[in-house]
Amino acid sequence: MAAKAEAPSIAERISQAIMEHRVAPGMKLAEERLALAFRVSRTKIRQALTVLAKEGLVQLHPNRGAYVTSPSVQEAQDLFAARRVVERDIVCNVVARAGKAGLRRLRQHLAKEARARADNDHRTLIKLTGEFHMLLAELGGNSFFIKLMGELCPLTCLIIALYNAPNAPACPDDEHSGIVDAIEAGDAATACARMLAHLDHVERELNLGPRDKGDVDWEAVFG
Ligand SMILES: [Zn+2]
């Protein structure tokens, strides 16, 4: 039983490293090296990797081992489409349910983001911007949305690591506070519109455009 209790904490630490971009998409997660690093048996590492595979952060290949997931452009676009649907409802729920205590937590969170930004603490900022969206899911109160966001948020971080310019912020500066302002005003329509604009903006920052290798402008290349 003890082994079972330990696996999630290793999984959590690996997941955190992926979300903070310290472990890159596509990187091999070698059992023996992780076992040495965590000072545990390979069995425990294998359990952790299985947990991460269920969350979609790790791909297990029968003979080659475990790799950090490297989502395709199509998967990245599908993920943002899913987030737009889910987070629109989450924000509506937050407007209806958050109350004063919820708003206080949102404001406290924004203050932490602002501090990380002022300190140029990029790693903390990436973590906090993901946590903002998880906090909204929690305050919205729908347990299925919370579970879904628990899966979508880490994958979003991976996608940003893969397709964004290095060191670009995960979420643009003032957009989170704009969403919270609308929530505080009890204005569900504006809060939803700002969330959708925010997700569009994050997606636009990624380099997901068509990579058409078949159509070269030869004149421009050699003319
Ligand atoms: Zn955001």
Enumerate the domain spans of the chain: 2-68, 73-205
Write the burial class of residue 20 (CB in 10 Å: 0-12 exposed, 13-18 middle, 19+ buried): middle
* Six-digit token string for 91: 């924000």
**Out of 18-22, 73-77, 139-143, 165-169, least confident range:** 165-169
- 48-61 pLDDT tens trace: 999 999 878 899 99
CATH number of 2-68: 1.10.10.10
Give the pLDDT score at 48.
93
Residue count (the chain):
223
Q: Is the pLDDT of residue 211 over 70?
A: no
Please report the pLDDT score of residue 213 as a whole number.
Answer: 45
pLDDT per residue as tens digits for the range 135-178? 999 999 999 999 999 889 888 888 887 787 655 655 666 899 99
| pLDDT at position 189 over 80 | yes
For residue 205, what pLDDT is reported? 84
Cite the DSSP H helix spans in 39-72: 42-55
Q: What is the distance in A from the centroid of ligand 1 to the CA of 169? A: 10
Residue 104 CA to residue 130 CA, distance in Å, equals: 18
What's the gap in Å between 132 CA and the centre of ligand 1?
A: 7
d(CA 90, CA 192): 9
CATH architecture of 73-205: Up-down Bundle (1.20)
Cα(48) to centroid of ligand 1, in Å? 28
Tell how far the Cα of 156 is from the centroid of ligand 1, in angstroms: 10
